[in-house]
Amino acid sequence: MIRNNIRLAIRLLFKHKNIAVVNIIGLSISLACALFILLWVQHELSYDRFHPDYKQIHRVEHDQYYSNQEPFHVNVTPVPAGPVWKAEIPDIIDQCRIGWAWGVMLTHGENKFFEEKAITADSSFFNIFGFKIIEGDALTALNNPQSIVISESIAKKYFGEENPFGKTLKINNDKYFTVTAVIQDPPKNTEIPADVVLSWDYQAGTQYYSDNWSNNSIFTFVKLAKQTSDTAVNTKITQVAHQHKDSENMDFEVNPLHRIHLHSYFGFGKSPGAILFVYILSAVAIFVLIIACINFMNMSTAKSSLRAREIGLRKMNGASRARLARQYLSEAIIQTFVSVIIGFLIVALFLNTFNHITGKDIALVDLFKLNYIAGILAVGLITGLIAGLYPAIYLASYSPMKAIRSQLNANSNSGLLRKALVVFQFSLAVLLIAGTIIIKRQMAYVQDADLGFDKYHLIDISLRGGVNEHYKTLKEEFLKDPSISYITGSMNPAHQINSSSSGISWPGKDEEQDVLVNFCGVGYDFSEAMGIHINKGRGFSKEYNGDLYRHDTLANFMINQTLAGIMNISDLPGTKITFMGIHGQVVGVMDDYHFSTLRTEVAPLAVIPVTPEYMNNMIVRLKTEELKPAIKSMQEKWTEIAPEYPFEYHFVDEEIAKMYQSEQRMSSIISMFTFVAIIIACLGLFALSSFMAERKTREVGIRKTYGAMDRNIIQIMMKEISILVLISLAIGLPALWFIANRWLNEFAYRISLTADIFLIAAMILVIVSLSTILYHSVRSARMNPVKALRYE
């Protein structure tokens, strides 16, 4: 029976090949879009699931509470907490602390590079995480204080084809570390960078290390016993932390490792995280598939008159409704799976382009993994059922006598359903069009927003690995170049300051008021080099000996306008404050500038001038737009002064653009799939307008006989679709306003949803839809009325 149905279905597809071709093209393109998005979503959901027992591994995070503010969520923990939690809480069977090695410089022979993905970890690292060791012993790899574990790529980078095991790498031109293990390159879908892993003792030896419960600067991962309640563990780790820390303004919690990539967030206000992108793209895939399925249903029911006599004869010969429905459903599923094959080939053909747009590194072999193949089959089957179920039931419901006599009512319920489906289809289309406009505008706003400083002609140079000891000499030599106007330094990249602390005090401050303040050590000429306006007081200067912090508890501060507003003192310059154990006075109030992304509001900020040993970055302000000569000059002087260190620099405007890379990629992906959705919708509308023109052939002939002009005929032909498009706009635009507002609320600084956005989207939809049916309208209007009356 099944074999006979398939053979008959294939024969009928060839018989009605025009309809089949339109359906297959639309479904193929839409399925290719869905399969691309399925590939992306599966990759996003796969993060850190390769570790054995990954469901038992959690990262400890916590909420901090401050005056009149939402909880401030952080993903780091106190330095000594991990071992204490393991010792005092039986539910924790192991723990591992991970810290950043702040881009250590590795040297072997002539090879020397700063390594961004370098971390320090407890010796339990390989007991918890499942990175595959190629050479070495997982149990002892990090036991020695001067041991180092490297990946295959790092090994090849420094040692070439030599076996690196047992050999040494020099770190920061200081000490030699022995390679105690080589691991397989970590997969792309991990949040744990493991290209270079150093012993925890290296972390303990850095100048920023502080082994106390007030220093939240490292990540702590715990492995819980099976069947352990996360809620119970949250209570226990919070209680233990409160026993060791005087302040109880924080609640700790564990976050499953496999949820970190998509659900992690930082700062005030709970954010959905990157999972929002998964929801958005999944919705886009569903929209595109629905649009294609609507085309399929419309074409199948619109051309039902071609199948009428066949249906009547089969019913007269005893075919039941159920059997006919199965037959027509099998036709839909066959067309769908032909489309699935074509869609899969499109994915394979354009995979490299897709990787380039999304920033992924998905290999062709990934298309043949079991979970992806299962996903393809599921998408194909569901699409086939959605597209074919109603037409199958509708066709099988025909009365046999009316079907044989071709007495089918053109204005039956199927016509109403087609109109409803067209409305739904174009409502989805306007959602995608306007959504694309909004995303692009928000990204343009983010790129062009006034950040409170001049991000152009600004260069950030790395001073890591001990090169900061040459800071003064480098600054003096660089400033001899007339194209350089200012040079300063900072502990963190000045456009991305994440260090913060509470406990700031000033005269008259409410004792109950607890304020979280961001902090950064900077060099002289900081405000001048950054282009930040000082509205009260002055900037830091060598002329004022008391400004500089020199390993004691004294220094002067510059603060931003946000902190000044919280302090609420009319004449701030000269006001004494104490912050992070440093006593001094406010010498200047800077205008607010964005030292984080525009997703968050400008936070309170205090900066002090520090000596070069605390600086990790040099900030260079250029006078000219000709950047290459200045960079070449700096590189030459760098090589003379600090030849043992690589010269690494970044343009600040480019680094800021990278902070919004995920949104930019999302914009590109949605734009691409929106264009495809419009093409698919137009393809279906073109075919449907052909059918409508065919149905109105006799009516057109009669009207022309009675003197109707071509423009009258065109207006009649386009009126029905125009009404449907207007209804689509009335449904789609309000829905868009609600959805867009929710997405834009993720940004503290955002565009307004102005009327022109909705107007542009409406105009695009109207122009595209009416242009699609214009061909058939003009063709009908120009038809000879005699031929029209002889039709049928």
Q: Tell me, what's the pLDDT at 70? A: 77
3-state DSSP assignment of residue 270: coil
Q: So what's the pLDDT on residue 91?
A: 94
The two beta strands, 267-268 and 458-462, are unpaired
Residues in a beta bridge with 502: none
Q: Are 573 and 536 a contacting pair, CB within 8 Å?
A: yes
Amino acid 410: pLDDT: 46
Maximum C-alpha span of the chain: 105
Cα distance between residue 155 and residue 166, in whole Å? 12
The total of other beta-carbon atoms located within 10 Å of residue 754's CB is 9
Q: How many helices (H) and strands (E) does the chain have?
A: 25, 26
pLDDT of residue 312: 64
Ranges of residues in the chain with a pLDDT under 70 are: 1-19, 68, 205-209, 246-248, 269-272, 299-321, 324, 390-392, 394-415, 418, 687-717, 775-792
Distance CA 42, CA 372 (A): 8
| Pairing, β 111-114 against β 147-151 | unpaired
Residues 36-54 as b or e (16 or more Cβ within 10 Å = b):
bbbbbbbbbebbbebbeeb
- Residue 790: its pLDDT value, please? 54
Give, in order, the Cα–Cα distances in Å from 303 to each of 375, 724, 728, 785: 32, 20, 24, 24
Place of tokens 């082994």: 211
pLDDT number for residue 4: 57
* Amino acid letter, residue 30: S
The amino acid occupying position 769 is S
pLDDT of residue 267: 75
| pLDDT given at position 6 | 57
8 Å CB contact between 577 and 505: yes
CA dist list (Å): 432 to 667, 678, 761: 11, 9, 9
CA distance 602 to 592: 7
Tell me the Ramachandran region of residue 367: left when phi exceeds 0, alpha when psi lies from -120 to 50, beta otherwise: alpha
pLDDT score recorded for residue 287: 85
Distance CA 516, CA 532 (A): 22
At 407 the pLDDT is 47
Tell me what pLDDT residue 345 has.
94
As a 3-state breakdown, the chain gives helix, strand, coil percent values, each rounded to 5, of 50, 15, 30
Residue 278: how many CB atoms within 10 A of its CB? 17
pLDDT for res 57: 96
Given this model, what pLDDT does residue 152 score? 95
CA distance 332 to 209: 66
Confidence (pLDDT) at 15: 56
Residue 369: per-residue pLDDT: 87
Element (H, E) at 742: helix 710-744
400-421 as b/e, with b when 16 or more CB fall inside 10 Å?
Answer: beebbeeebeeeeebeeebbeb
Q: Which of 610, 472, 458 is nearest to 528 (CA)?
A: 458
* Residue 199 parent element (H or E): strand 196-199
- Crossing angle of the two packed helices 627-641 and 471-478, in degrees rounded to 10: 140
Compute the CA torsion angle 535, 494, 274, 238 (nearest 10 deg).
-90
Quick check: 291 and 675 in contact, CB under 8 A? no
- pLDDT (0 to 100) of residue 309: 61
